[in-house]
Structure 1
Amino acid sequence: MTRRIVRTGIQLGVLTFIVFLLVFFLDNRYRVLPQSIHNHLPSHHEGLIITDITVNTCSSLNPLSTCKLDQDKWHRIEKDLYLNTGWVSKAYVHIKRKREEDLTDEDRVIIDVRIGKMDPAMNEKSQAAEKWESRPAGIWLKRSAKRHATDSKKAVTAVDVLFGSDAVDPRPGWELIQPTALLLDTGSGSKDARLSIRRGPVHKLEPPVPRIGKDGKFKIMQVSDLHLSTGLGVCRDPEPKGANGGRCDADPRTLEFVERVLDEENPDMVVLSGDQVNGETAPDAQSAIFKIVQILAERGKPWAAIFGNHDDEGSLSRLNQMSLYNSLPFSLSEAGPNTIEGVGNYFVEVRAHGSKHSALTLYFLDTHSYSPDEKRYEGYDWIKLKQINWFKTTAQSLKESHSHYSHIHLDMAFIHIPLPEYGSTTNKFVGSMKEQISAPGFNSHFKDALVEEGIKVVSCGHDHANDYCMLSENESTKEGELWMCYAGGSGFGGYGGYDGYIRRLRVFEIDANQGRISTWKRLEYGDIAKRLDEQVIVDSGRVIPPQSN
């Protein structure tokens, strides 16, 4: 009998341990799926009013704990406030919400939120101030009776969680609760979790219409390899070495650089050409993405983005990031057709001044990530045949409408991973080649398709310490057929510092009146006002060789 009891006890112990492992695995494996992170956003549910907010903390060691409150009453925002770094604790924000038409006279709706240790009423001058209600993690809520708070300008209609002391929220109608993060147990791995709230309905955003200026000019600033993090991030290979006492926060320095050149160059459009997010250091990609979008939105700059090999190594898939991009102000980004490989195969038409006709077409293609056949083709993935066919079909279908433009129509393309032809040592180039190119081992000959369809310039990122433009020439006529450019790395969250290499970004200026494309680079430090390697690369619609300086 004793042996049977012992055996039964052991079996129950083993079963309990298995249940613990399953719950722990499932709770950690599936709660942070990329789509769940984006789909949690209450902004997708119009007409809802938030009636309560709380934080629920649980133990990772308890196999019976799922960190969920009554799901009939509470909706959980699917972001662990410790970003899955807590040794023991996990914590989630939960909200109660109702449709406005279902509110009763007994319901109280949230009209303000604060974070702090002290009751906000202590700082309010009015003696008739409404009562603040305390919640876990330092949350204070001001709630009002339904009949006094259905004014959509006051009632909180959505709640989100962002991370980092440098967190921002560029979404119209959203407000990041400043200056304090949620008051969590810092010993469990606090990540500066912050609440953001929206009042009123979802703001419907119309994409901007990029247009050639009155002077016939259109300027594009290409920003590549930002490698933004969740939080400040740590600089890799900063130049100059040892500056600022050796202290360097990656994202503030990166964004300060981008902001300065934005203000000095005043481009008409910004292209984010991949690796906006550093997957290894961005457990919440949304917080990282918002930082670059914030500075573009503040300046009213239209922008288009493609993905690099690191963007979806964090918390959001390519598809969910593109869905997020689509919801942000001044975005021209599109997922593209779902019948071909990749996310972000699309084009943008830049209209002529005072006309409906296109003066410039910009093509964007997804170069994917890593080789799907590492044994045969080591390294990186390549643009697929379906993508090439889509590009050629699209380019050919646009030619008739482009023919109605009164001047020379121009075409450019942007990708992240360079084409194999970028590695040719026989071609003429302007700029620096400080590292071996990281191109696909398999050549799908997308470069030939670009030439066939009359694209004059293609520009990529990926290799941070390469910043050259290389001229491809026709083998028989020796005439220029395509410029292949690098943007140069701009972010301190990614590698750099090869032989004193300075972070930089590239500018293209299109002169529609002359059918001309010029390009140059701007540096992060040193001779920051100089236009580095300034060249005319297309003139009268024709690719031209480098000019001697």
Structure 2
Amino acid sequence: MRLHYRRKFNFLRRILFILCIFSLYLSRDSLSLNAKNTLLSPNLTEYHGGLIDDIQVLRCYCWYRQCGSLYAPRLQPSGAGKKAKEKKNVLWNRVSKNISVEPIYSLQTGIFYNSYLYVHSKNIQSKLKNSIKELAIARDSALIPLQVLRDINKMVKSSDSSVFHNHVYQRDKPTSPWWKLLFGIAVDSDDISVFGEEWVYKGSGIWCKYILNNDGNDLPIVDLEIYLGSSFIESRPYWKEVIHEFHRNNIPSLPISITRKIKTPSTRHGPLNGLSGPLKSPDSENNILRLLQVDEDYKITSAHIQFSKGQRSFKILQMTDFHFKCTENGMTIINEIRTINFIDRMLALENPDLVVITGDLLDSANSMDYQTCIMRLVQPMISNKIPYAISLGASDKSKLAALPQIKDFISNLPYSFNHVATKEGHMAIQVSFKKKLLKHALFERETDTKYEPSPSEALFFIFDSFNPVDDFLLDYSNLIGEIDYGLTFQYFPISEYRPHGLFPIIGQYNERSTLIVDTARSKGEVSMTIGGKHYNSFLDILNLWNVKGVSCGHEHNNDCCLQSKNEMWLCYGGSAGMDVSRMEGLYPNVRLFNLDDIMDEITSWKRSSNFVDEVYDYQYIYKGKQQ
């Protein structure tokens, strides 16, 4: 009896051994690929931009050393002859996302794996032919994106029969044998076909168009970015969303948006007012645009603006304290949309030349994706082509990214003056107003052709409150005595914002407690030697550049301007976020400054979300002698 069971056991063991050998043989390619990815060097980089010729979603298993780069085969059309060189594995690079927790931006999560978007980079020296020029991603891999269907519809109406080739592409089967599920081998299942040569299916709902020749008429995709959270808005030139707020079943609270950038067109517009830049001539209502010096991606390359003789004023819109979270909380979404609508309304009413944001764009650890929140905030300025500068606040940090990453992202946005900021985050924007010739000047000019009145100069400092300004100010010491008008913006109030005794004040001044901000400037601990003279007061130092006013953020319940001992006005921007906590009876508001060279004055006023069309607390920051 025992011999009988032993024979059965040995027979089953042989069968099991044969099945294991057979399974290993069937999955030999997958085992080799997994071993290669497991031993892959962890120093390989992700995709940070460049030409691509293929794209797909790949699984990164938990036993891989890293997910930044993987080896995988390229998708082939069904029925195509698969040569050996077509079946070989190639290196794929994951589309980069600058946050520390990788699974948050996975497209799909399983027990042993996370799926990410990967691209195959094209050789930079190669021609543009076969580069991807357009993408479309469906919310369901069984469906065809609307953009693809529209193009197909155009082909159906075409009289050219050569556009129809009925290419068939394979979609991954949802269920597979155990060894293929374990090792991530795709099994051919439902076929998805598209009529025409342009759109190619890449699996997982991804469709792409290729450049078919090198005539230069098509622009390739040169970058891809991923954003998390609700209400993402893409407004940058040459960028376009390929999928908006895709809700993943495994991470229901964080929808994902993917956007792409095409190569900047090679045509360049000529110099504008003597300054180089690709900007087109703007509408007559927006004079500042044609004076900016920008590169091909609309990044500002110079902080010096030279006005023509027809422009003699400069308007600044200050906004502060938004505390965007970009989560899926319903009330938060509504409030953030209302905030953006408020900003849009302010830009339409005031048409400022510059927007200054003095901190607290984010809500610290409550903001999941800092990039989504920042993009949402600057979208109105980018859409309206209005330059802006950002001074970061105490809440402008993320648990998923470092502060240098946040600064780098802001500095590379279109129309951002942060692109010309110092590494500490300080900016100095200089504006030159050309004076008109008076009658006596015209007479003198007839006798002396070299006569030309010197322009009026304005200087706007935007400081980072967390870094010292000594070296920065010394770099601009050559402008001392040359500036006619100056204004300063930063996040934290300084010690002079808590004056004693009686002083002029306009607006709400509800927070008067002792400043607890641990910075030298806020505590009044300033010590600088400029031009051989020592200074202990920050306001006295700013007065060297003829600064007439300082404005800050940080305190939500203060929106006043109070006058210091040397007649310099110290102002608050209030708070613009609808979701910001503030005292009852206070509403989101913004502050504006207008510098008028003809009237020789600087004025300020505010607008509130409660009465958007009304101006209140109008005042003079500086009133000189009218010419």
TM-score range, shorter chain: 0.7 to 0.9
Residue 488 of structure 1 is matched in structure 2 by 574
Q: Relative to 1, partners in 2 of residues 1:81 and 1:517: Cα closer, same or farther, differing over 3 Å?
A: farther
- Residue 234 (structure 1) shift: 6.0
Aligned-partner Cα distance in 1 for 2:541–2:67? 57
3-state SS of paired residue (1:141): strand
Quote the offset at 1:284 in angstroms: 2.2
1:450 counterpart residue number: 539
What is aligned with 1:192? 255
Q: 1:171 aligns with which of 223, 236, 241?
A: 236
Secondary structure of the 2:58 match is: strand
Query: Matches of 1:278 and 1:90 in 2, distance apart?
Result: 28
Structure 2 residue aligned with 1:73: 91
Secondary structure (helix, strand or coil) at the match of 2:511 reads coil
Give the CA deviation at 1:68: 4.7
Query: Helix, strand or coil: the match of 2:120?
Result: strand
Among 146, 152, 160, the residue aligned to 2:225: 160
Aligned equivalents of 1:131, 1:334: Cα separation in 2: 38
TM-score, normalization by structure 1:
0.72
In the other structure, the counterpart of 1:534 is 618
1:95 pairs with 119, 122, 138, which one? 119
* AA partner of residue 67 (structure 1): C
SS at match of 1:175: strand
Distance 2:569 2:575 in 1: 19
Cα distance in 2, alignment partners of residues 536 and 259 from structure 1: 26
Q: 1:232 to 1:520 in 2, by over 3 A?
A: farther
Tell me the residue number matched to 1:42. 48
Q: 2:56 aligns with which of 54, 57, 62?
A: 54
TM-aligned CA deviation for residue 193 of structure 1: 1.3
* Alignment CA distance shift 1:496-1:252 (3 Å): same
Instruction: Quote the sequence identity (%).
Output: 22
Shift of 1:500: 2.4
Residue 314 of structure 2 corresponds to residue 218 of structure 1: yes
Amino acid at match of 1:205: Y
User: Greater CA radius of gyration, 1 or 2?
Assistant: 2
Contact map agreement 1:322 1:335 (CA 8 A) in 2: no
Q: Distance in 1 between matches of 2:328 and 2:217?
A: 35
Q: 1:410-429 alignment to 2 at 5 Å?
A: 410-426=485-501, 427-429=503-505
Secondary structure of the residue aligned to 1:157 is strand
Tell me if the contact between 1:325 and 1:333 (Cα under 8 Å) persists in the aligned partners.
Answer: yes
Match of 1:388 in 2: 470
User: In the superposition, relative to structure 1, how do residues 122 and 452 fare at CA in structure 2: closer, same or farther (>3 Å)?
Assistant: closer
Moved more, 117-126 or 496-505: 117-126
- Structure scoring higher RCO (CA < 8 A, sep ≥ 6) equals 1
The correspondence of residues 134-533 of structure 1 with structure 2, limited to 5 A, is 134-143=201-210, 145=212, 148=213, 151=216, 153-178=218-243, 180-182=244-246, 184=248, 186-189=249-252, 191-201=254-264, 203-205=296-298, 207=300, 210=305, 214=310, 216-230=312-326, 249-334=334-419, 336-338=421-423, 343-353=424-434, 357=455, 359-368=457-466, 384=468, 387-388=469-470, 390-391=472-473, 393-399=474-480, 401-402=482-483, 409-426=484-501, 427-436=503-512, 438-441=515-518, 443-446=523-526, 448-454=537-543, 455-473=547-565, 480-493=566-579, 495-525=580-610, 527-533=611-617
What's the Cα RMSD here?
A: 3.4
Q: Gaps spanning 5+ residues in structure 2: where?
A: 1-41, 72-89, 157-162, 164-195, 266-295, 436-452, 527-535
Could you tell me the TM-score, scaled by structure 2's length? 0.64
For residue 231 of structure 1, report the CA deviation from its aligned partner: 5.1
| Shift, 1:181, TM fit | 3.9
In the superposition, relative to structure 1, how do residues 505 and 183 fare at CA in structure 2: closer, same or farther (>3 Å)?
closer
CA distance in 2, matches of 1:401, 1:436: 36
Q: What SS does the aligned partner of 1:488 have?
A: coil
Mark the CA change 1:262 to 1:465 in structure 2 (over 3 Å): closer, same or farther.
same
User: What are the superposed Cα offsets for residues 333-389 of structure 1, whole Å, 9 maximum, x if unpaired?
Assistant: 246444xxxx21221101214698452101121112xxxxxxxxxxxxxx64xx235
Superposed displacement of residue 255, structure 1:
0.8
What letter matches 2:624 in structure 1?
S
Does the 8 Å contact 1:434/1:466 carry over to 2?
yes
Residue range with higher mean Cα deviation, 125-134 or 92-101: 125-134
1:261 Cα shift? 0.8
Is the 2:463–2:489 contact (alpha carbons within 8 Å) kept by the matching residues of 1?
Answer: yes
Q: Which runs of 5+ in 1 are unaligned?
A: 1-30, 237-247, 369-382, 403-408, 474-479, 543-549
How many equivalent pairs are there? 448
* Counterpart residue identity of residue 509, structure 2: M
SS in 1 for 2:538: helix
> Could you say if the C-alpha distance between residues 345 and 285 of structure 1 is closer, same or farther in structure 2, counting changes exceeding 3 Å?
same
Instruction: Assess if the C-alpha contact under 8 Å between 1:165 and 1:232 holds in 2.
Output: yes
| AA of the residue aligned to 1:289 | I
Q: Higher mean Cα deviation, 125-134 or 190-199?
A: 125-134
Residues 268 and 541 (structure 1), Cα distance of their counterparts in 2 relative to 1, 3 Å cut: farther
